[in-house]
Amino acid sequence: LSRVSLWSNICRLLSRVSLWSNICRLLSRVSLWSNICRLLSRVLLWSRVNRLLSRVSLWSSVSRLLSRVLLWSRVNRLLSRVLLWSRVNRLLSRVLLWSRVNRLLSRVLLWSRVNRLLSRVSLWSSVSRLLSRVSLWSNIRRLLSRVLL
């Protein structure tokens, strides 16, 4: 009986070892699967992070491009205002030049009128002198005719 009991204990022990071996194998498989799952989850996470980073990079590129476009738009508006101001300035300078020419012409015309007026006055003065001479001559003749009579 003691041998049977010993054998029974050995069998029980072996069965436990076998069971333990099976459990260990199972656990190792589970552990391997767990490691594979963790590795896959890390890969998937990295893939998501990578996609997110690529979107961020794309958005950054789009943002830079938009900022350049907006900057160019502002520069363009500023240049158009400068060009408009340049055109207005040229137009104003032409207007001012025309105003100066107009003033100069008005002075010339005024001078021409004054000149004509002065020439008329001079003519009138000449006529007046001539008439006064004629009148003087007439007076001298009358005086002489009285004296001679």
pLDDT score for 133: 83
Which two tokens mark 65?
Answer: 């491009």
CA distance 84 to 86: 5
pLDDT score for 32: 76
pLDDT score for 113: 86
Amino acid at 42: R
Name the stretches of the chain with pLDDT < 50: none
DSSP state, residue 1 = -
**If DSSP codes are grouped into helix, strand and coil, which group holds residue 149?**
coil
CA distances to 7, 51, 71 from 56, in Å:
71, 9, 22
Q: Model pTM? A: 0.31
